Amino acid sequence: MSAAMNLGKVGVLFGGRSAEREVSLMSGTGVLKALRDKGIDAHAFDPGQRSLAELAAEKFDRVFIALHGRYGEDGSIQGALEQLGIPYTGPGVMASAIAMDKVMSKRVWLSHGLPTPRFVVLDAKAASPEELRAIPDQLGLPLMLKAPHEGSTIGIAKVNGHSEMQEGFELCARYDEAILAEEFISGRELTVPVLGTGRAARALPIVEIRAPQGNYDYEHKYFSDDTQYLCPAPLDAALTARIQDIAVKAFNALGCVGWARVDFMLRASDDEPFLLEINTSPGMTGHSLVPMSAKAAGMNYEDLCVEILRSARLDLTPSESWKPGLQS
């Protein structure tokens, strides 16, 4: 109980205004209950329904971010919390913004020599029919089209032939101004939670996802019981260690802290892993993968929530030489 009291008054931010609001409500409800069950003075706060002025008035000592998608996972709420001086869970402003952008994430990973599928970026408003027809020749078929600033498989389309490019492009264009066209990696879908910061960051057990017909869509991700999850994933020790090492490197390359979940495809032809994306405020629902992985590592849901909460921090430290009203 004393440890719980040391964490002070805690806000659990969930709901929000993104396309993932429904999932965030489920995540936040679970986190709120878990923290209260551990004796923590935790309170719900929905930024989709309440203002930043109200957030400041609550005088939280720290907050657990259980928001998903835009405004919660893209650096927006992180910047507001920095201004308010409220420590928060997960990566800071810059890391959150980069991680939310699948294109920028891939560019950073490539600069660090980390593997990710080949890709082309298209302008959602200006891409010509000729550009669209050329993409399958560049990346091969099938290929993936993605809205690079969305999550939870929202704004994503698999293109199996040239004739499907336009329809897939139009679907993704509903959600974003840029479209990520990505090489399709045929193989096994894996995810690796990472906890900690810097050299202390550690990968949890790998989860393998086996969805019906390989279709791990929104329904199969959050609501269906048809998807199979294997944790720890049935991989040999050397390959497991390699994938976990890449996950931690990908996490650190983007400047992530606290926690995140790194998604991979493992190519069937040669067992080569490819980074797809990183989630800096992963789901914490009954179907979510971070709690599943933590359980395989011997950590229950409540203890996981407390460990994440303990990592709450401010990312931006003001310069000691800066003083209000003074100019350099």
Domain CATH number, residue 6 = 3.40.50.20
Looking at the fold, whether 108 and 254 belong to one and the same domain comes out as: yes
User: Considering the domain boundaries, does residue 268 fall inside one?
Assistant: yes
In a domain, 321, yes or no: no
Cα(276)–Cα(96) distance, rounded to whole angstroms?
Answer: 16
- Residue ranges of E strands in the chain: 9-13, 41-45, 62-65, 119-123, 143-146, 156-159, 178-183, 187-197, 202-203, 207-210, 228-230, 257-267, 273-279
Task: Among 142, 167, 183, identify where a domain stops.
Answer: 183
Domain span at 171: 119-183
CATH number at residue 227: 3.30.470.20
pLDDT at 256: 98
Same domain, 135 and 261: no
The answer as to whether 320 is a domain residue is no
Q: Are residues 108 and 239 in the same domain?
A: yes
The answer to whether 181 and 143 are in contact (CB under 8 A) is: yes
Q: How many whole angstroms from its chain centre is CA 117?
A: 18
Examine the domain organization and report whether 125 and 158 are in the same domain: yes
Indicate the residue among 165, 183, 201 that finishes a domain: 183
Catalytic positions are 20, 152, 222, 261, 263, 277, 279, 283
Q: Which of 60, 73, 59 is nearest to 24 (CA)?
A: 73
Sign of CA dihedral 176, 178, 181, 186: negative
**CATH number of the domain to which 169 belongs:** 3.30.1490.20
State the CB neighbour count (10 A cutoff) for residue 127. 19
Q: What is the pLDDT of residue 224?
A: 52
Is 152 in the same domain as 106? no
**Assigned domain for 60 exists:** yes
Q: Answer yes or no: is 192 within a domain.
A: yes
What is the total count of domains within the chain? 3
Cα separation, 322 vs 328, whole angstroms:
8
Give the pairing of strands 143-146 and 178-183. Answer: antiparallel
Q: Are residues 66 and 16 in the same domain?
A: yes
Report whether 27 contacts 290 (CB < 8 A): no
Residues 179, 194, single domain; the answer is: no
pTM across the whole model: 0.91
Measured in whole angstroms, the distance separating CA 104 from the mean position of its chain's CA atoms is 14
**According to the model, what pLDDT value does residue 322 have?**
39
Examine the domain organization and report whether 83 and 141 are in the same domain.
no
- Candidates 37, 51, 123; CA nearest to 80 is 51
Which residues of the chain register pLDDT less than 70?
A: 1-5, 151-152, 213-225, 316-328
Nearest to 61 by CA among 284, 310, 316: 310
Output the pLDDT for position 217: 47
| Of the candidates 99, 71, 64, 115, the residue with the CA atom closest to the CA atom of residue 254 | 99
- pLDDT value, residue 110: 98
Are residues 155 and 9 located together in one domain of the fold? Answer: no
- So what's the pLDDT on residue 171? 95
214, 299: one domain = yes
